[in-house]
């Protein structure tokens, strides 16, 4: 079976016949035994102060890397700390694909912010966020990531107060220049236009999948709640119908088994399908942002080239700046190209694994 990546606008029906072979045929760049950084997010804890109520999570790191002073660290972090880390990674690596964080509020107010289900959903997402970074060939060596994993609360707080770095100031310059550019990027390479088109299609399809998956889960829950009532009704009915009591009890028992099987199928959807699809909804927004940042860097170069052509400034100075900007654009392009292929491979693996899992759960459900 060809393991080439499926285009977003043509989800291929030609899947391997064996679900297990489908999952096993995809290999990541780093096998688990070669990893040297392991991170766990667990033990959520509520904190109530006079000003606010918030949750912290324990982050345990185990590593064999020489740049770490110890082989194991344990710190507590709140959601704002994760948000800070994501911002620092985006600032340092504007054209790399930073993994998404769960939204501050989810499901539009349908879930209580501090109930157990919300906290557990967020914990899993934060755990995945850190491990995605740990597995990334570049992000894993980011200094702010190391500080996030190792610094005590007061040390992290002190580090956060430091002013914006050189990259941040450069980013502001890029935005200032690009804001003066109108009508899009003139010299955008074709492959980045194709990426943009791919992501627009992908975004539409993944958002539709997200809505459908939630609708299926909602209908399944309604069906489950109705079935929970029918079992006891047949049991009560059997007490007043002596001639068919055994049959009615049998029906009640059967409904109970269906109820348990449906509950298991719902758990499979909520644990293995909904989070994966929603993560890639967030990824689609992140990718569009990354492509825009690449265009901003390109826009800065284009504006300098235009300035040179119109002789609005000293030629020698502009020529030197153009050389530096060409290097910057080249670095940005290469970073995004490498990350793009890696992201597509991971995306296809995650999607196939999620849908295979749903298919296998459905098989078990109907067998039961």
Same domain, 150 and 212: no
User: Does 191 lie in the same domain as 87?
Assistant: no
**Same domain assignment for residues 156 and 201:** no
Beta carbons of 94 and 290 less than 8 angstroms apart: yes
Residue 119 and residue 40 share a domain: yes
- Both 236 and 355 in one domain: the answer is yes
Asked if 213 and 142 sit in the same domain, the reply is no
Please state which of the ranges 53-57, 142-146, 160-164 shows the lowest mean pLDDT.
160-164
The pTM assigned to this predicted structure is 0.78
Q: Is residue 94 a contact partner of residue 110, using CB atoms and an 8 Å limit?
A: no
pLDDT at residue number 163 = 62
Residues 321, 246 share a domain:
yes
Q: Considering all CA atoms of the chain, what is the largest pairwise distance in Å, rounded to the nearest integer?
A: 103
Stretch 145-167: mean pLDDT: 82
Q: What is the DSSP letter of 96?
A: S
Per-residue tokens: 257: 């088994």
**205/283 same-domain check:** yes
Inside any domain, residue 21: no
Task: Answer whether residue 247 is part of any domain.
Answer: yes
pLDDT of residue 105: 57
Where residue 90 sits, what CATH number does that domain have? 3.30.1520.10
Under a CB-based contact definition with an 8 Å cutoff, are residues 82 and 100 in contact? no
Domain match, 217 and 336 both: yes
Residue range of the domain that includes 105: 35-160
Smallest CA-to-CA distance from 137 within 338, 351, 286 is with 338
Instruction: Please tell me whether residues 336 and 261 are part of one structural domain.
Output: yes
15-37 per-position pLDDT tens digit = 444 444 444 444 444 444 578 89
The region, left, alpha or beta by phi > 0 then psi within -120 to 50, assigned to residue 184 is: left
Using the predicted structure, report yes or no on whether residue 258 has a pLDDT greater than 70. yes
Cβ count within 10 A of residue 25: 14
Write down the pLDDT at residue 159.
87
**Higher-scoring residue by pLDDT: 30, 345:** 345
Average pLDDT over residues 110-114: 52
Strand 72-78 vs strand 53-63: parallel, antiparallel, or unpaired?
A: antiparallel
Q: What total of structural domains would you count in the chain? A: 2
Residues 251 and 355 in one domain: yes
- CATH of residue 341's domain is 1.20.1270.60
């Amino acid at each position: 079976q060809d393991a080439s990546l499926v285009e977003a606008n043509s989800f291929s029906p030609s899947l391997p016949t064996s679900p297990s072979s489908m999952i096993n045929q995809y290999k990541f760049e780093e096998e688990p035994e070669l990893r040297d950084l392991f991170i766990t997010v667990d033990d959520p804890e509520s904190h109530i102060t006079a000003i606010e109520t918030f949750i912290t999570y324990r982050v345990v790191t185990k590593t064999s890397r020489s740049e770490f002073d110890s082989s194991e660290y344990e710190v507590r972090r709140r959601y704002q700390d994760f948000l800070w880390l994501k911002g620092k990674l985006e600032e340092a690596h504007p054209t790399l694909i930073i993994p998404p964080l769960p939204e501050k509020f989810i499901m539009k107010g349908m879930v209580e912010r501090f109930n157990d289900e919300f906290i557990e959903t967020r914990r899993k997402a934060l755990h995945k966020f850190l491990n995605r970074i740990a597995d990334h060939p570049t992000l894993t060596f980011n200094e702010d990531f190391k500080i996030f994993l190792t610094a005590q609360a007061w040390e992290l707080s002190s580090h956060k107060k430091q002013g914006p770095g050189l990259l941040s100031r450069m980013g502001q310059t890029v935005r200032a220049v690009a804001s003066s550019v109108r009508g899009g990027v003139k010299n955008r390479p074709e492959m980045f236009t194709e990426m943009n088109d791919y992501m627009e299609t992908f975004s539409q399809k993944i958002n539709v999948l997200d809505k459908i998956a939630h609708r299926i889960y909602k209908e399944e829950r309604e069906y489950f709640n109705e079935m929970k009532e029918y079992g006891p009704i047949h049991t009560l009915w059997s007490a007043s119908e002596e001639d068919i009591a055994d049959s009615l009890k049998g029906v009640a028992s059967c409904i109970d088994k269906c109820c348990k099987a449906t509950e298991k199928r719902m758990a499979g959807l909520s644990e293995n399908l909904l989070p994966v699809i929603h993560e890639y909804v967030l990824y689609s927004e992140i990718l569009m942002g990354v492509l825009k940042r690449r265009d901003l860097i390109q826009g800065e170069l284009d504006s300098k080239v235009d300035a040179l052509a119109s002789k609005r400034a000293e030629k020698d100075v502009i020529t030197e700046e153009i050389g530096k900007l060409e290097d910057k654009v080249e670095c940005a392009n290469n970073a995004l190209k490498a990350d793009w292929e890696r992201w597509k491979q991971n995306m296809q693996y995650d999607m196939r694994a999620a849908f295979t899992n749903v298919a296998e759960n459905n098989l078990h459900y109907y067998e039961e």
